Amino acid sequence: MLTYQSIEELVSKAQEEGRKISDLVISDQARAMEISPIEIYERMEIDYLVMRESVQEGRKKDLRSMSGLTGGEGYLMTEYANKGNALLGDMPSKAVARAISVAGCNASMGRIVAAPTAGSCGILPGCLISLVEDRGVKEETTIRSMFTSGAFGMVIANKASVAGADGGCQAECGSASAMAAAALTEAMGGTPQQCADACAIALANQLGLVCDPVAGLVEIPCIKRNAAGVMIAFSSADMALAGITARIPADEVIDAMREVGRALPGSLKETAGGGLAATPTGLKLMEQVFGTS
């Protein structure tokens, strides 16, 4: 598989060839893997279908995680969103419901797509499935935009990290939100540069986000952070589509994320040694799951 080293590289090449980033990526990956563009697309389509199925699984009323700490959030948010009284409005509230449904599916040992990680798995589907189901965007357009999100994710992984143990939750939910913002922007007709701006804005708004899972499990606060990541992705995409630029280029934001991650203490990088995990309630919940030892 061909990897990408910078967002600037992707944007420049797409602009030079007068193509969308997704078109560029599909061609590049098909050539590198020695398969047809159609087969590349079909592989991504399978990922999209798994995302859609995980939304449905996570909406089940009786869904519970093995730890017993979480379960039912997807059902509750879906019921609330469907009433039409949400402060966020119709589409955003349903997007949040989809995001936490997928994250809940993950916590309950269901099948998900790590995009880019299991802890941030609800953000991309929460955004993209909402485009299809609530805005009438064609599935093909949405699936193709996933190639843009994937390429941006490759850059983030190469230049920095997508692991909470390495860079904190900024590297997980922050990266997922940045990837989703780029995909949303392309799916809504944005230019390659606007995709880069959306990515940069989304990631910049989550710099320093710590990874502090209660009891070391990808449940609290991870599930709800997926909801927040969706909202950041949507707002970042809208700003980019409105013509608002990031001012700090996406590649530099990624570099900054790497340095912030290095500066975070180990207690705030997936060790459950600090942050919410170390609160009195967080410690009690850990005892509830694992006992006093």
pLDDT band for 293, please (50, 70, 90 cuts): low
Question: Model confidence over 204-232: pLDDT tens digits?
Answer: 999 999 999 999 999 999 999 999 999 99
- Residue 253: pLDDT over 90: yes
- Residue 286: pLDDT over 70: yes
Question: Model confidence over 107-144: pLDDT tens digits?
Answer: 999 999 999 999 999 999 999 999 999 999 999 999 99
Residue % of the chain over a pLDDT of 70 = 100
- Residue 1: pLDDT over 90: no
Residue range 95-109: mean pLDDT, rounded: 98
> With the C-alpha atoms ordered 227, 228, 231, 237, is the resulting torsion angle positive or negative?
negative
Residue 1 resides in a domain: no
Residue 2 resides in a domain: no
Residue 185 resides in a domain: yes
Residue 136 resides in a domain: yes
pLDDT at residue 3, rounded to an integer: 86
- 99-121 burial, b at 16+ Cβ within 10 Å, e below that, comes to bbbbbbbbbbebebbebbbbbbb
pLDDT at residue 95, rounded to an integer: 98
Residue % of the chain over a pLDDT of 90 = 98
- Chain centre to alpha carbon of residue 29: 22
Tokens (6 digits) for 244: 């608002």
- Residue 238: pLDDT over 70: yes
How far apart CA 172 and CA 115 sit, in angstroms, is 9
Write the CB contacts of 200 (distance below 8 Å, at least 6 apart in sequence). Answer: 7, 178, 246, 248, 249, 250, 253
The total domain count for the chain is 1
Q: Look at residues 176, 154, 152, 146 and name the one whose alpha carbon lies nearest to residue 164.
A: 176
pLDDT at residue 284, rounded to an integer: 98
pLDDT band for 2, please (50, 70, 90 cuts): confident
pLDDT at residue 292, rounded to an integer: 81
Q: Look at residues 282, 22, 51, 291 and name the one whose alpha carbon lies nearest to residue 147.
A: 22
How far apart CA 125 and CA 42 sit, in angstroms, is 17
Structural domain span for residue 174 = 7-290
pLDDT at residue 86, rounded to an integer: 98
pLDDT at residue 188, rounded to an integer: 98
pLDDT at residue 79, rounded to an integer: 98
pLDDT at residue 133, rounded to an integer: 98
Whether the pTM exceeds 0.95: the reply is yes
Tokens (6 digits) for 233: 């992705």
- Chain centre to alpha carbon of residue 214: 20
Question: Model confidence over 7-52: pLDDT tens digits?
Answer: 999 999 999 999 999 999 999 999 999 999 999 999 999 999 999 9
pLDDT at residue 278, rounded to an integer: 98
Question: Model confidence over 124-133: pLDDT tens digits?
Answer: 999 999 999 9
- Chain centre to alpha carbon of residue 21: 18
